[in-house]
């Protein structure tokens, strides 16, 4: 089985590669920044890597033509919600037009490949509290440039699914975290600050944004397992939430991390960490994926946060 992973050296791409490496896959992947090739795990190093800027159609076409993938996991893209406000054009170019270039390449050179298209739970926007948890039937109300790019990506897939008959399944993962996540994301940010404080590299004070927002967090290792299950069992044109079905206030996650440290740490608000548009609650309904695919989360959030903190303690 020949598997192509776009964005293979990213946070999720790395964990997906490690998961698939336990089975008999030939794994190929695209990357943009060569710096991310420096700290690959032994299982990740078994993959074949191709430099690729997805916004350049000839680049991805050449790779698809050579690899001839049986399965494609499309993970590459601009993934940071807050940064998308200052990088609106880049976010759209990468997430929408980069996806267009991939789809055209598959249509021309690998029309029988099964493709997992990764969208986001952010496409639902600000859903009223009485309509949560959010099912796949909820209307899309994207509030950020990132969310708008992902909602557009989903619409872009329709002519390829229903016109060209490509086998494309769309997933909408809600928040996910775990070891090796970039510290621009909240759980990794908190854990990195705590590890630096424990090492005496900064004052015993942690800087935070909005601690009241509630989010549905899953462990990235559960998420990539869900991706593989959907790849095997998902029907073309279907959309699946990947969500834990539980919401935690950001402050709750911080309290768990602080409880894992022997150091007394104060909390200080930082206005620069507040998003221009923040949603009070984003809680996913995972009924469809549980019933149709058989996936459910397995790793408790406490174990996830402990692993993130351990990761940063080892690196600092």
pLDDT the model gives residue 102: 98
pLDDT the model gives residue 175: 97
pLDDT the model gives residue 276: 60
pTM: 0.95
pLDDT the model gives residue 277: 58
Residue 73 bridge partners (DSSP): 5, 116
Alpha-carbon gap, residue 290 to 296, rounded angstroms? 6
Conformation bin of residue 309: beta by default, left when phi > 0, alpha when psi is -120 to 50:
alpha
Helices 186-198 and 301-315 cross at an angle (nearest 10°) of: 50
Alpha-carbon gap, residue 33 to 36, rounded angstroms? 6
* Residue 98: partners with Cβ closer than 8 Å, 6 or more residues away: 54, 55, 60, 76, 77
Which position has the token pair 């058989």?
A: 294
pLDDT the model gives residue 275: 66
pLDDT the model gives residue 180: 96
Residue by residue, pLDDT tens for the chain (316 residues) are 999 999 999 999 999 999 999 888 999 999 999 988 988 888 889 999 999 999 999 999 999 999 999 999 999 999 888 889 999 999 999 999 999 999 999 999 999 999 999 999 999 999 999 999 999 999 999 999 999 999 999 999 999 999 999 999 999 999 999 999 999 999 999 999 999 999 999 999 999 999 999 999 999 999 999 999 999 999 999 999 999 999 999 999 999 999 999 999 999 999 888 766 578 999 999 999 999 999 999 999 999 999 999 999 999 9
Q: Which residues of 129-142 are buried (b: 16+ CB within 10 A; e: fewer)?
A: eeebbbebebebeb
Domains for the chain: give ranges and CATH numbers. 2-176+218-242 (3.40.50.720), 181-215+246-282+299-315 (3.90.25.10)
Token pair for residue 218? 């899953």
Conformation bin of residue 129: beta by default, left when phi > 0, alpha when psi is -120 to 50:
alpha
pLDDT the model gives residue 141: 96
- DSSP letters, 113-164, are -EEEEE--GGGG-S--GGG-SBPTTSPP---SHHHHHHHHHHHHHHIIIIIS
Token pair for residue 116? 């997992």
């Amino acid at each position: 089985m020949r598997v192509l992973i776009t964005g293979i050296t990213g946070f999720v791409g790395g964990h997906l590669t490690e998961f698939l490496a336990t089975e008999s896959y030939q794994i190929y992947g695209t990357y943009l920044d060569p710096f991310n090739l420096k700290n690959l795990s032994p299982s990740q190093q078994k993959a074949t890597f191709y430099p690729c800027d997805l916004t350049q159609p000839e680049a991805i076409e050449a790779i698809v033509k050579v690899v001839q993938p049986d399965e494609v996991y499309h993970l590459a893209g601009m993934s940071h919600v807050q940064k998308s406000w200052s990088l609106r054009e880049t976010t759209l170019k990468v997430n929408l037009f980069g996806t267009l270039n991939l789809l055209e390449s598959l249509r021309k050179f690998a029309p029988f490949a099964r493709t997992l298209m990764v969208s986001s739970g952010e496409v639902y926007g600000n859903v009223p509290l009485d309509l949560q948890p959010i099912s796949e039937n909820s209307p899309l109300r994207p509030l950020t440039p990132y969310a708008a790019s992902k909602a557009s990506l989903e619409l872009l897939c329709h002519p390829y699914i229903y016109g060209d008959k490509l086998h494309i399944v769309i997933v909408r993962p809600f928040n996910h975290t775990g070891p090796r996540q970039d510290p621009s994301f909240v759980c990794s940010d908190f854990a990195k600050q705590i590890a630096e404080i424990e090492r005496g590299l900064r004052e015993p004070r942690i800087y935070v944004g909005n601690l009241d927002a509630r989010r549905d967090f899953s462990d990235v290792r559960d998420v990539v397992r869900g991706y593989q299950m959907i790849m095997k069992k998902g029907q073309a044109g279907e959309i699946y939430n990947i969500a834990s079905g539980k919401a935690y206030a950001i402050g709750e996650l911080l309290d768990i991390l602080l409880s894992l440290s022997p150091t007394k740490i104060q909390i200080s608000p930082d206005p620069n960490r507040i998003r221009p548009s923040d949603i009070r609650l984003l809680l996913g309904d995972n009924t469809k994926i549980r019933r149709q695919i058989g996936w459910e989360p397995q790793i408790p959030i406490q174990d996830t946060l402990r692993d993130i903190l351990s990761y940063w303690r080892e690196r600092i």
